[in-house]
Chains A and B, each alone.
Chain A
Amino acid sequence: MTITLKEICKTYDKEPVLDHLSLSISKGQTTCLMGSSGCGKTTLANLLLGLLKPDKGSITGLDTSQIAAVFQEDRLCENLNSIKNIAIVCPKSVSKKQILTHLLEVGLTETDSMKPVSELSGGMKRRVALVRALITSNQMIILDEPFKGLDTTTKGQVIAYIKKYTQGKTLLIITHDKEDVALLDAQLIEL
């Protein structure tokens, strides 16, 4: 069972970003996507998320109604607190208490969780964005540089959290750090 990208082409302002790219992502596995800056990693993520359409080629085996993501930017509602930011993507059955438990697991405090996210540090915002992506039951999760702004200790905590909540799910992580592949027991795809 794979998600297959076949002969994908994507051009921005006549500049080809993805040129006849073909690859497969195993479902239910963790895959790390690596490549130099500007090679089209984020474009590929946006294609998978359905935010972009390929100029040519096809993507098969993908259910866009089952995807969650951490974007390259945090994309949080700055005026809302962390709990509210997460609650807006959750069904009503997910309680505030459950959200708070998740936030505590990634190292945020209860006080942090009640502050508007505009008052949080970059690393804290990143973790809120991560919890938002992982808390729901989506079967595919795309994480675009999820460890940006995290120190080594927090990164370890976040990796443990990712592993705990993505078992059996398809996880695609865009990263620059080769070490992450081993830490996440992931397959590696280099662009």
Chain B
Amino acid sequence: MLHSTTPNKKKGYFLLSSFIWLFVWHLASIVIGKDILLVSPLVVLKTLFLLIKEVAFWTTISFSFTRIVGGFFLALLVGVSLAVLSSQFIFIRFLLNPLTAVISSTPIVSFIILALIWIPTRNLSLFIAFLMVLPIIYTNTLQGILNTDQKLLEMAEVFRIPLYRKIIYIYLPQVMPFFVSACSVGLGLCWKSGIAAEVIGLPTHSIGERLYEAKIYLSTSELFAWTFVIILISILFEKLFIYFLKKISERILAK
């Protein structure tokens, strides 16, 4: 049976479980005894501190960050626009259905290899992040719009509520949960797919390139350190983005 827990208790459980897993990881690395197979978390932390001091570390992060997040924002813009169009014109919905189904079910690597032929490697992660996030934003936003309470829309029609008020007070509150969950899933996916694209395309000064180098030189500690950095940036950006998204929508509704 699940019991309700206070936020402090939850934080405590989170920290405790994190320490337990870190300890298990540390123990496993001691048992294996070979850094090349499994490096200890302490060594990863040490490597991370060394990396942070390098200027290249920050330029690498900014290179990947701008492209992957750029791809995400582009997907937001296009996905929402297409969802609005699809909600109004059923033909567009039918037209886009096979496209989103194909994008969603095709392996990411197939797209990456194909995109390598089309576009320069510098912008490969931007394109792949865009392509992977687009169907998620599109389908969820469309779902939200189509699930908007028809009775409220009828009320708006009868009272001749202007479009901008309809969007703010009727559509926004109903679409927002779908949109937030799509952004949350999309943000995780854009980092995974974007980094995968960089590892294959190897654009210079990218995180993907550094991961590839770590693999070539069998530097497991660097591989883990960069992976940790990716996870950290991904989680931090997701939390920040969702926080601001909710704040903005609250502010709009309060107007």
Contacts and interface: CB of A to CB of B under 8 A. Distances in A.
Contact of B157 (A51, A73, A79): A51
Interface string B148-171: 000110110111110001000110
A67 interface: yes
A68 B159 contact: yes
Contact of B152 (A65, A68, A77, A136): A77
Contacts of A136: 159
A79 B253 contact: yes
Nearest to A66: B160
Contact of B165 (A65, A69, A73, A88): A88
A80 B159 CA distance: 17
A96 interface: no
A75 B155 contact: yes
Q: How large is the interface on B (under 10, 10 to 19, 20 to 34, 35 or more residues)?
A: 10 to 19
Contacts of B170: 77
Contact of B151 (A75, A84, A132): A75
Contact of B253 (A65, A67, A68, A80): A80
B158 A50 contact: yes
Contacts of A69: 158
B173 interface: yes
Contact of B169 (A73, A84, A132): A84
Contact of A77 (B157, B158, B160, B169): B169
A interface, over-half SS: loop
Interface string A75-87: 1010110001000
B253 A49 contact: no
A89 interface: yes
Interface string B58-73: 0000000000000000
A147 interface: no
A153 B169 CA distance: 33
A49 B157 CA distance: 9
Interface residues of A, number: 18
Contact of A51 (B152, B158, B173): B158
Interface in B146-203: 151-152, 154-155, 157-161, 165, 169-170, 173
Given A77-B169, A77-B170, A88-B165, A71 B160 contact: no
A84 B161 CA distance: 13
Contact of B154 (A65, A75, A89): A75
A88 B253 CA distance: 11
Contacts of B169: 77, 80, 84, 88
Interface of A: 49-51, 65, 67-69, 71, 73, 75, 77, 79-80, 84, 88-89, 132, 136
28 contacts: A49-B158, A51-B154, A51-B157, A51-B158, A65-B160, A67-B158, A68-B158, A69-B158, A71-B151, A71-B154, A71-B155, A75-B151, A75-B152, A75-B154, A75-B155, A77-B152, A77-B169, A77-B170, A77-B173, A79-B173, A80-B169, A84-B169, A88-B161, A88-B165, A88-B169, A89-B159, A89-B161, A132-B159
Given A75-B151, A80-B253, 15 more contacts: A50-B158, A51-B157, A65-B160, A68-B158, A68-B159, A71-B151, A71-B154, A73-B151, A75-B152, A77-B152, A77-B169, A77-B170, A79-B173, A89-B159, A136-B159
A-B complex: 3 closest residue pairs judged by Cβ atoms: A89-B159, A75-B155, A88-B165
